[in-house]
Amino acid sequence: MYTLSGKLKITAIIFMILGAIGLVYAFATAPTSIEEVKEILAAQEHHGNHEMAAGEHAVAHGDASHDDEHAEHVLHQLQNKPWAALYVGAFFFFMIALGALAFYAIQYAAQAGWSPVLFRVMEAITAYLLPGSIIVFILLALSGVHLNHLFIWMDPDVVATDEIIQNKSSYLNVPFFLIRAAIYIIGWNVFRYFLRKNSLKQDEANDNSYYRKNFKLSAAFLVFFIVTESMMSWDWIMSLDPHWFSTLFGWYVFSSLFVSAITVIALVTIYLKSRGYLPYVNDSHIHDLGKFMFGISIFWTYLWFSQFMLIWYSNIPEEVVYYVTRIEKYNLVFFGMVAINFLFPMLVLMNSEYKRINWFIVMTGVMILVGHYLDIYTMVMPATVGESWFIGVPEISAVLFFGGLFTFVVFNALTKAPLLAKRNPFIKESEHFHY
């Protein structure tokens, strides 16, 4: 049995406390009036910092009405900033748990023989799905009651003057939006509950009945998942830009959450082995996780390029505006995360032998997680914060808080059951797996 070390537990709690303090500070210091924003803009202009006052929004000399209009626009962006940072952090760690559940179900549905020694690690990571999805739902509900302005289609004043959003109102309306979110979350968590329950019961069973139940459950879950994950990505991310859509978007978000989850499975596994646990996990298991990290990173790049290239080539104004905003206002972050998510895994993990070296996997894994956090960041921030972005206290605090909570939940879940699924019918094959 795994025992949660006091050092790791205290570190996770400290991260949560520091993150919570930082988030409270970010909300408390957000501007509350146009006058405060004007002072901020004046100070930035004085110091030559134009990140939050881009050229096309520059205040016209002597035009007081334009001055007020621009200040009000920036006020809404700055008030959104801590909410957006909180949302990015909450969604990022939630999607890791959801991706781990999908990967776990795929192992069952495919009757994979290499992976059962990793099942308890996967199950522990999925333990964050319940608290993570509840937190995301609360943030969505708070948007629905107008405590923030992340989703502009929720603003009646915007809808009243926007014909495109009006035409989508039968789908993009708060009650239906929250009902759909509840269906996704309840479905995912119900499947996770029974998959975990059957896995633990299989340890004490005299036959493979619970394994067969999980096989059927996994097949059903994957059908449910592929539909609800796509709809979730449309609802929770793409609708932040309600004028824009992409038919690839569900797959694109899936590839991001999938590679992030596999990366975390690899990192947790390597950590446990370094502490003397998981004796049956060998270099071949790490090698296969590295193959998935490499392969899904290439798949993510393919989807990113397909989406980007087709929109750039067609040059349709209502489509290309999505990338114009990101290239003009988020240039370094936008192209930087593409380089991190593609070039780093390709250069480091292409060599088969490097996939067997733990520190190569750890180094690449950290970079992949940073890159996909920035991926979610560039999906959310341009629509919610616009040009008023910078990575500061809210963003760092959100990562600390949710990172600490994620670590605490996952490693606490590891203490609840033996780390080896001993009665899985493929466990012996997995123990002696060699690639």
Is 3 inside a domain boundary? no
Q: What is the pLDDT of residues 386-397, one digit of tens each?
A: 887 888 899 999
Number of folded domains in the chain?
A: 1
Is 221 inside a domain boundary? yes
Domain range for 234:
91-387+417-431
Burial class (CB in 10 A: 0-12, 13-18, 19+), 212: middle
- CA 217 to CA 109: how far, in whole Å? 9
Is 403 inside a domain boundary? no
Contact 300, 334 (CB under 8 A): no
Is 299 inside a domain boundary? yes
Is 57 inside a domain boundary? no
Instruction: Specify the CATH number for the domain of residue 284.
Output: 1.20.1630
Residuewise pLDDT in 10s, the chain (435 residues):
889 999 999 999 999 999 999 999 999 988 877 877 777 777 666 655 444 444 444 444 445 556 667 777 777 788 889 999 999 999 999 999 999 999 999 999 999 999 999 999 999 999 999 999 999 999 999 999 988 889 999 989 889 999 999 999 999 999 999 999 999 999 999 999 999 999 999 999 999 999 999 999 999 999 999 999 999 999 999 999 999 989 899 999 999 999 999 999 999 999 999 999 999 999 999 999 999 999 999 999 999 999 999 999 999 888 899 999 899 999 999 999 999 999 989 988 888 888 888 999 999 999 999 999 999 999 999 999 988 788 889 999 999 999 999 999 999 999 999 999 989 999 999 999 988
Is 12 inside a domain boundary? no
Is 240 inside a domain boundary? yes
Is 39 inside a domain boundary? no
Q: What is the pTM of this model?
A: 0.92
Contact 105, 135 (CB under 8 A): no
- Please state, for a pLDDT cut of 70, what percent of the chain lies above it: 94
Burial class (CB in 10 A: 0-12, 13-18, 19+), 51: exposed
